[in-house]
Structure 1
Amino acid sequence: MFCNQCEQTAKGTGCTVVGVCGKKPEVAALQDLLLHALKGLSIYAWEGIKVGVHDREIDRFTIQGLFSTLTNVNFDPARFQQLINQTVTYREMLKQKVAAAGGNITSTDKSTTFSPAVDLAELVKQGEEVGLVNDHEALPDIQSLQQILVYGIKGIAAYADHARILGQEDEVVYNFIYEGLQALTNKELGLNEWVGLVLKCGEVNLRTMELLDAGNTGKFGHPVPTEVPLGQRKGKCILISGHDLEDLSYLLQQTEGKGIYVYTHGEMLPTHGYPELKKYKHFYGHYGTAWQNQKKEFAAFPGAILMTTNCIQDPQAYLNNIFTTGLVGWPGVKHVDKGDFSAVIEQALALPGFEEDIDKGSVLVGFARNTVMSVAGKVIEAVKGGDIKHFFLVAGCDGAKVGRNYYTEFVEKAPQDTVILTLACGKFRFFDKKLGDIGGIPRLLDVGQCNDAYSAIQIAVALASAFECEVNELPLSLVLSWYEQKAVAILLTLLHLGIKNIRLGPSLPAFVSPNVLDVLVKNFDIKPITTAEEDLAAILNK
């Protein structure tokens, strides 16, 4: 086993015994094998594109397969066996279609001839024999760029699947995924070509996030400022975690009138700001904090729990109360069909629920691009008048690794004449801090989920337009925390857009080689975080 795709990877280099996330070696091997199989499928899909062969069913399956290999999504070996077998079936189907259309099917890459073992144990052995990214030796810097590309593509796949569920798709996204995966089998590509693919990954991810934004806002409306209770209501309860707004919508519809309060957890917090979701009176509040605290928080929750996307941890302490849906999987956890949450509701009704009302205050969400830009004039006036000196986008993924208290300290120590924009679960380091306001503008503005990064980018672009300057000339600094592959995709998007002076932590990716890091520093001025005091001083005194 070797896995280095998340920030918490063992010893800062790679997990070799068991994943820090809880992933066992056999699951790691099966994920590697699935990626290997998807490369073979992509070779024929890419050749098919050249001769007009497209298959939307295979497109959708490909992003679901990739999404399943992200950190904290699917830990179930049986599910991976099904995905691997289906990949090979689709590969052979595509091969025939491409041949019939006169396309090239002469590839002899191992990924195009691989035949999956019938026995699961043998399938694991096959996975142990394939490379993490490629099946040939590559120079360290090329290997680094290949890994950056793979992890960026995984992030794109996650966002594309979220968008697909909401009816938003673009062939450009699917085509690039095939282009990138099949490139991993090409031994002839040089350093510049790999750099080009990595930056193109950022460009395509921007389009993918645009699709997801259109899906979310088109179906559920644009978020509006909303106070979200952190306490509890007496009564039966369901906790929903992950990112999927449609799953939440189905759950709210199916629980209406049943005497069950629905609470959000983790990245679901911003959903309280969407008009088509907040209209449900039993959609009450938020419970708990970020994903890495779920074992303690879920064990204390007196109702049923539904995991909709990535973030699941070992649920043995509450195995009977937790359910997975979509691509999420854990051995022994009951998996429910997407959109049918009757089993979750039944379990919630059988559990005690909260015994009394408790007030624990509230937090404010709903500051996506429409809300912020509706008061753009007021913001611009405050900047020109000197009331707002600087904006900080303190955003990204949270995690358990030591050093993430930096982000709490950074926000707490930011001067009173600065504004903090935040998104993703990194906000849980400071989401309940009362930072006050500047002329009625809250100093802490929650833009949304990591899935809402497009909204934050549009805010920056709109402000730059209003000030008639480039984004890099704005009084705006990005201080980011990363954990998994969606964060990699967002970082590549920022690089594609030419955003500079990004501070990244709590540690730099293990898959970035010294030379590649040097290029990022020289061309984009990416900096590792130091201390809150030092970084604030450097930003505000430059």
Structure 2
Amino acid sequence: MSMFCYQCQEAAGCKGCTVRGVCGKTEDLAKAQDLLIYVLKGIAVYSVKGREVGVINKEVDKFIMEGLFATITNANFDRNVFIERIKKGLRLREELKRQVIKAGGILGESNSNENWLNKMLSFVGLKKEEESKLPDAATWFADNVEEFNTKADTVGVLATQNEDVRSLRELITYGLKGLAAYVKHAVHLGYDSDEIHGFMHKALAATLDDTLTLNDLVALTLETGKYGVDGMALLDKANTESYGNPEITKVNIGVRNNPGILISGHDLKDLEQLLEQTEGTGVDVYTHSEMLPAHYYPAFKKYSNFAGNYGNAWWKQTEEFEKFNGPILMTTNCLVPPKASYKDRVYTTGVVGFEGVTHIEANEKGKKDFSKIIEHAKRCKAPIEIEKGEIIGGFAHNQVFALADKVVEAVKTGAIRRFFVMAGCDGRAKSRNYYTEFAERLPKDTVILTAGCAKYKYNKLNLGDIGGIPRVLDAGQCNDSYSLALIALKLKEVFELEDVNELPISYNIAWYEQKAVIVLLALLHLGVKNIHLGPTLPAFLSPNVAKVLVDNFGIGGITNVDDDIKMFLG
């Protein structure tokens, strides 16, 4: 079986990539990622029952979380990393199995295979008349690449025959990938949640359960959204308690004369360590793409070498990285396969990887040594300036709450007619220019609420302000969509409304990868309806599943700018 992947918005033909991923991943890499997900599901089977008898293995929690994150689009292109993760996962699964059996009182009883199997079936909650064995993902074992390759051919997305079951299982899995990404950032800052890990494992194991009905899977999908809210709240707490609440900030988009390091991705702890280690070295640090909102946090403003933001959204990096001249540190996903002309200047850390690129690991205390990158930067020229000026941001929930009276008054007087949530992702497709045109053509009495790299379609436009309130309010990274939800709920409270959907807020969201999926599911859990997604609806939504979302939540696509603005403004 050839590869099949349709987890991102760029899925070939809006159906699926079958030869090579539009993202750049090869067939061998895609299959290795499929097999890792299969192994994670097998581990989850034992983790679920382990938690019922008090067995919580934190190494397993970390492994599943990072394994899910590593398979997000544009995160890791190094197949060797996935082969090693599969090997480690199988070893971890067997160790967890022994822990669970011991905790369940099974260890030491009859060695009869049939007796052991019957007890194990009972222990893990499978009905013998319905299942003759544990899920294959919980029992299959191999220790060589040849067997991995053979197995990978049978466990991909298309292994689920029923189109609607497949659609819901993948929707849940992609939501879990996004959730794992956000939880990983929180964990890196010392904030964790056994409850969220437990749910991720329950949901993963459930995707192996053929007894679940479509209604069961729909309910699990919405429950995933609930934990999406919890995960984003955990990360918001981790970020703000570590670095302070974001505040209105003007960010320089020009360059200085010093050599620089460009840091991209989402991990603020990595940025903090890089700033600490570059201080006083004569090397400036610039943010790129989703790292831009780091400038809004008070804690980072004390670093005089924190120079500004360089470039735009992730997909332009092949052009912009070349011009930057200095080394680039990728902390999370959003890596485009690097060109040979600058590949030697790319460094990765965390779950990110690319074969032939230097990877920075943390020591046992979580400390990362960035001295190689700093010394590399000292040998490089200063960045080539690609633009000048400033952009403004920092409108996370705490800052907007501080402006609440001003915002409410503007709404009551009619100065602000409507808010448009235009959060999400940017991407390569020319059809995404729709969002630039949409922002330009919105009436002057409307305000854009944004988060994520979708903002690069309009955050450098001169859209003006309304009574001192900028018409583009940037809350931060994609995970900071949580701020937009809190802002909506606060306005609902202030205006004493029964339903969040009664607010003068419309949702026109661009999506690209799996973190956008968990944001969508989180909004659905909060009761938000009539969300429009573009530039295309996800390829992994079967017609029937799409109909459920349309009928129950008013999910829709986009058409053209003029007609959509008329539709939104009623």
Q: If the length of structure 1 is used for normalisation, what is the TM-score?
A: 0.97
Runs of 4+ residues over 4 Å off in structure 1: none
* Displacement of 1:167: 1.3
Q: Deviations over 1:101-134 (max 9, x none)?
A: 117633522112222332x35423321222327x
State the distance in 1 between where 2:298 and 2:376 align. 28
* Displacement of 1:294: 0.5
Which one of the candidate residues 370, 377, 398 is aligned to 1:341? 370
Aligned-pair Cα RMSD in Å: 1.4
Which residue matches 2:459?
431
Residue 233 (structure 1) aligned with residue 256 (structure 2): yes
Which one of the candidate residues 321, 331, 335 is aligned to 2:355? 331
Which residue matches 2:17?
15
Describe the SS at the equivalent of 1:396: coil
Does structure 1 retain, via aligned residues, the 8 Å contact 2:43–2:138? yes
Give 1:37-48 correspondences, 5 Å limit: 37-48=39-50
Which one of the candidate residues 85, 88, 97 is aligned to 2:87? 85
The 1:105–1:349 alpha-carbon spacing in structure 2 relative to 1, beyond 3 Å, is farther
Q: Deviations over 1:40-97 (max 9, x none)?
A: 1011111111212111121111100111111001111111111111111111111111
Give 1:134-213 correspondences, 5 Å limit: 135=159, 137=161, 139-213=162-236
State the distance in 2 between where 1:117 and 1:409 align. 53
Which one of the candidate residues 146, 152, 155 is aligned to 1:130? 155
Which residue matches 1:68?
70
Residue 306 (structure 1) aligned with residue 329 (structure 2): yes
* Displacement of 1:317: 2.6
Describe the SS at the equivalent of 1:432: coil
* Displacement of 1:485: 0.5
Residue 448 (structure 1) aligned with residue 476 (structure 2): yes
State the distance in 1 between where 2:79 and 2:20 align. 15
Which residue matches 1:116?
142
Describe the SS at the equivalent of 1:270: helix
Q: Which amino acid aligns with 2:355?
A: P
State the distance in 2 between where 1:126 and 1:117 align. 12
Does structure 2 retain, via aligned residues, the 8 Å contact 1:95–1:105? no
Which one of the candidate residues 361, 382, 395 is aligned to 1:353? 382
Which residue matches 1:528?
557
Q: Which amino acid aligns with 1:188?
A: T
Which residue matches 2:298?
275
The percentage of aligned residue pairs carrying the same residue is: 49
State the distance in 2 between where 1:465 and 1:512 align. 34
State the distance in 2 between where 1:478 and 1:354 align. 37
Which one of the candidate residues 387, 399, 402 is aligned to 2:415? 387
Which one of the candidate residues 515, 519, 526 is aligned to 1:490? 519
Which one of the candidate residues 85, 99, 102 is aligned to 2:101? 99
Which residue matches 2:278?
255
The 1:112–1:380 alpha-carbon spacing in structure 2 relative to 1, beyond 3 Å, is same
Does structure 2 retain, via aligned residues, the 8 Å contact 1:336–1:343? no
Describe the SS at the equivalent of 2:246: coil
Describe the SS at the equivalent of 1:383: helix
Q: Which amino acid aligns with 1:334?
A: T
Q: Deviations over 1:486-529 (max 9, x none)?
A: 10111011111110111110000011011111111111111101
Q: Which amino acid aligns with 1:199?
A: L
Q: Which amino acid aligns with 2:57?
A: D
Describe the SS at the equivalent of 1:186: coil
State the distance in 2 between where 1:516 and 1:29 align. 26
State the distance in 1 between where 2:63 and 2:285 align. 31
Residues matched between the structures, number: 537
Which residue matches 1:400?
428
Describe the SS at the equivalent of 2:263: strand
* Displacement of 1:252: 0.5
Residue 421 (structure 1) aligned with residue 449 (structure 2): yes
Describe the SS at the equivalent of 1:395: coil
Residue 410 (structure 1) aligned with residue 410 (structure 2): no
The 1:211–1:334 alpha-carbon spacing in structure 2 relative to 1, beyond 3 Å, is same
Describe the SS at the equivalent of 1:317: coil
Which one of the candidate residues 40, 52, 55 is aligned to 2:54? 52
State the distance in 2 between where 1:123 and 1:495 align. 38
The 1:99–1:429 alpha-carbon spacing in structure 2 relative to 1, beyond 3 Å, is same
* Displacement of 1:227: 0.7
Does structure 2 retain, via aligned residues, the 8 Å contact 1:303–1:353? yes
Q: If the length of structure 2 is used for normalisation, what is the TM-score?
A: 0.92
Describe the SS at the equivalent of 1:320: helix
Q: Deviations over 1:366-395 (max 9, x none)?
A: 110111110100110111111111111111
Q: Deviations over 1:189-236 (max 9, x none)?
A: 101100010000000110000000001111010011111111100111
Give 1:459-498 correspondences, 5 Å limit: 459-469=487-497, 470-498=499-527
The 1:279–1:130 alpha-carbon spacing in structure 2 relative to 1, beyond 3 Å, is same
Which residue matches 1:320?
344
Q: Which amino acid aligns with 1:86?
A: K
* Displacement of 1:187: 1.0
* Displacement of 1:358: 8.3
The 1:122–1:188 alpha-carbon spacing in structure 2 relative to 1, beyond 3 Å, is closer
Which residue matches 2:365?
none
* Displacement of 1:158: 0.8
State the distance in 1 between where 2:292 and 2:383 align. 20
